[in-house]
Structure 1
Amino acid sequence: MKPRIQLQLSLMMFLEFFVWGSWYVTMGIYLPNSLDASGAEIAQAYSTQSWGAIIAPFVIGLIADRYFNAERVLGILHLGGAFLMYQIANATEFGVFHPYILGYMILYMPTLALVNSVSFNQMDDPAKQFSFVRVFGTIGWIVAGLMISYVFHWDSQEGVQSGLLKNTFLMTAVVSVFLGIFCFTLPKTPPTRTSSEKIRIADILGLEALKLLKNKNFLIFFLASVLICVPLAFYYQHAGQFLGEIGVSNPAGKMTIGQGSEILFMLLLPFFFKRFGFKRTMIVAMLAWAVRYMLFAYGNAGELAFLLLLGIALHGICYDFFFVSGQIYTDSKAGKAYKSAAQGLITLATYGIGMLIGFWIAGKITDAYLIEEGGHLWETIWIYPAAFAVFVMLFFMIFFKNEKIEYKS
């Protein structure tokens, strides 16, 4: 791969995740403080990610794979997203905000697959080359959080009270315009299928991979993957709100510790996977979810703030050891015939159905522990995802039979 192309792809990844990280973490702070949103309404806003994930395969399978170059579709989606982000920034009530954020996520979620398609199309050895491009996406997310907290101070108590968090959506809109235009300069990635090919919904959604569920071990893994999305939803939806509400300074910046740890544990995963195997790696991940929420339950913005930072830092173990290991396991079980379909099915089940259920449960529980004078009983709230993570861990430990899975890095 030519250095110029690698630079283009790396910048594309950086901007792709910069625009997501610019608003996603702080939306949980913005909605209750600027639009007086309830926990259920915050859940609706975050659930748009799941609806976007459910609809994304249709955008890719029906449009990008058949009629237009991937980089052009990518550019159009980001330009459309820029317009919606501008509208989101100017929404004055949740009833106006929600349809715009839903429209935005329907446009954004397909771009996650498209940036991968554009990248893979330029690589002769994706297994070795892709990680060096994808890591810039995580860096982009980190830079966005650091800018919000330490450059602009939009998530400070003064910034939140004065409505400065609105600027996170405006920043996303501006960067999305640049990214949309930049996409048209990317290497050409033509459709992988002809428009005359018969469209099969089963292929688009990866339903052919349902045959894998006949394997008991894969079925247990599949169910655990859906269930673990409930604790995951609590983190995505309420961690930023929690940190801001209890008075932790620079919450967006501090939450980038999670992305930093994601990079670290991604590098450690091959060693851990080979040394301890798939089952133990997954169990450690689920245990880390439980520990994280217990740290959140008993930490505070004062002398026990280190517990909160440690809980955030566990994100690398929670995410990489479970979801990346799960992708490896799925790939090994699927075989050549169902590789893409199986990955698509797991994505649909987790980021689609699993997260949708998780966001709803998290919103309901958070609303149930709302304090009349303002705020929430966070110590009690965090016990729920911790207990649920333990339940999923025990379910997996008991019913999943250990098997050897090779990790090819």
Structure 2
Amino acid sequence: MKATTRIQLSSMMFLEFFIWGAWFVTLGTFLAQHFSASGSQMGLAFETQSIGAIIAPFIIGLIADRYFSAQKILGFMHLTGAALLFFVATTNSFAAFYPLVLIYMLLYMPTLALVNTIAFKQLKDNPEKFAQIRVFGTVGWIIAGVLIGYFGWESSRQLQNTFLLASFASALLGVLSFFLPNTPPSAKQDGAGLRHMIGLDALGMLRDKTYLVFFITSVLICIPLAFYYQNTNLFLNDIGMAGAAATMSLGQVSEILFMLMLPLFLKRFGIKITLLIGILAWVIRYVLFAYGDTGDQIWMLFVGILLHGICYDFFFVTGQIYTEKKAGLKNKAAAQGLITLATYGVGMLIGFRLAGWITDTYTSAGSYQWEQIWLIPAGFAVVVLLLFIVLFREKQATASE
């Protein structure tokens, strides 16, 4: 790959995830500070991600993958998204905020697939080097959190600036997109591309009882996952942690480190043990959040944040690897589409709705009962863990099969 192309793709990934991390991490705190939003309203706002994830395959399958070059539709979506984020920053009520952020996420979520498509097109002879490009996305997410902490927007109640920051980055990526390597549409006009993209071609995998257990587990574990995205930044700010967004970026640093360790761990212990550790990490994380504080127990909060690498890599990345191995040659992409639709779409949609309801239940006069709020997803993750231990019986689910 030419150095120029590598820089273009790395910059694309950096900005793609910088945009998301610049406002999504602090969304719960923003809603509480600016709109005095209820837990249910927070759930509705975060659900826009899941709605976008459910709709995204249809947008890609019907439009981007059939009629337009990927880099052009990427540019259009990000330029439009930049305008929407600018207007989001000017809203003064949840009623005005919600439709704008919903439209934005309907545009943004498909771009996650588009940047992968563009990168893999250039890496067609060396797809295993995708991680070297994708890692810049994680770096972008980290830098976004560090900047929010540096400017002190959480403590100064100026989180509307996060949307302006994301708007600027979105406009920059929108312009950059038109200079990316050409990635023409590849799907045929017979509708097969759409079926493939949304994962319908991979439904036959669910006839395998073991994979069905994994699939259901993946959906269920996304329910406690939603609590992390929706409540963590609000929780850390509420209990008085300075620079909460910057502190949370340590989770992405952990993600990079454990991503490097994952191949060795899979080779040594196999898929099942790795998945079990990933689920267990969610239990431990939420228990630490329930009993941690910014005093003597602050170490619990830091450990809970640093567990993000295990929580995400050991379950979700391992799950993608397992899905890749179980899928037939023709269904590999469709299988990934199916698991993404089920987890980030259906699973997290349920999770955000439940997290909003639980937060409302354990909030009184603006005071959050965080111990109860965190122990509920911890308990749910324990149930998922036990079900997985009992029902998942893959005898040779190792990285070497």
Q: Which TM class, normalised by the smaller chain length?
A: over 0.9
Aligned residue in 1 for 2:372: 380
Aligned residue in 1 for 2:308: 315
Matches within 5 A, 1:352-367: 352-367=345-360
Question: Once superposed, which parts of structure 1, at least 4 consecutive aligned residues long, lie more than 6 Å away?
Answer: none
Matches within 5 A, 1:7-406: 7-150=7-150, 152-156=151-155, 159-160=156-157, 164-194=158-188, 196-198=189-191, 202-372=195-365, 374-406=366-398
Q: Which whole-Å deviations, capped at 9, do the CAs of 1:9-65 have from their partners, x for residues lacking one?
A: 000000000000000011110001101110000000000000000010011111111
Report how far residue 106 of structure 1 moved: 0.4
TM-score, length basis structure 2: 0.98
1:185 partner SS: coil
C-alpha separation in 2, matches of 1:134 and 1:324:
13
C-alpha separation in 1, matches of 2:238 and 2:399:
42
Aligned residues of 2:213 and 2:391 also touching (Cα < 8 A): yes
Aligned residues of 1:332 and 1:405 also touching (Cα < 8 A): no
Specify every segment of 5 or more residues in structure 1 that has no aligned partner in the other structure, as ranges: none
1:191 partner SS: coil
2:395 partner SS: coil
C-alpha separation in 1, matches of 2:124 and 2:206:
33
Q: Which whole-Å deviations, capped at 9, do the CAs of 1:290-313 have from their partners, x for residues lacking one?
A: 000000001001221111011000
Quote the RMSD (CA, aligned, Å). 1.2
Aligned residues of 2:270 and 2:399 also touching (Cα < 8 A): no
Distance 1:200 1:60, change over 3 A: closer
Q: Kindly provide the amino acid, as one letter, of the partner of residue 153 in structure 1.
A: G
Percent identity over the alignment? 54
Report how far residue 201 of structure 1 moved: 5.0
Q: Kindly provide the amino acid, as one letter, of the partner of residue 358 in structure 2.
A: I
Report how many residues are paired.
400
Distance 1:312 1:117, change over 3 A: same
Q: Which whole-Å deviations, capped at 9, do the CAs of 1:89-125 have from their partners, x for residues lacking one?
A: 0111001100011001000000000000110111144
Specify every segment of 5 or more residues in structure 2 that has no aligned partner in the other structure, as ranges: none
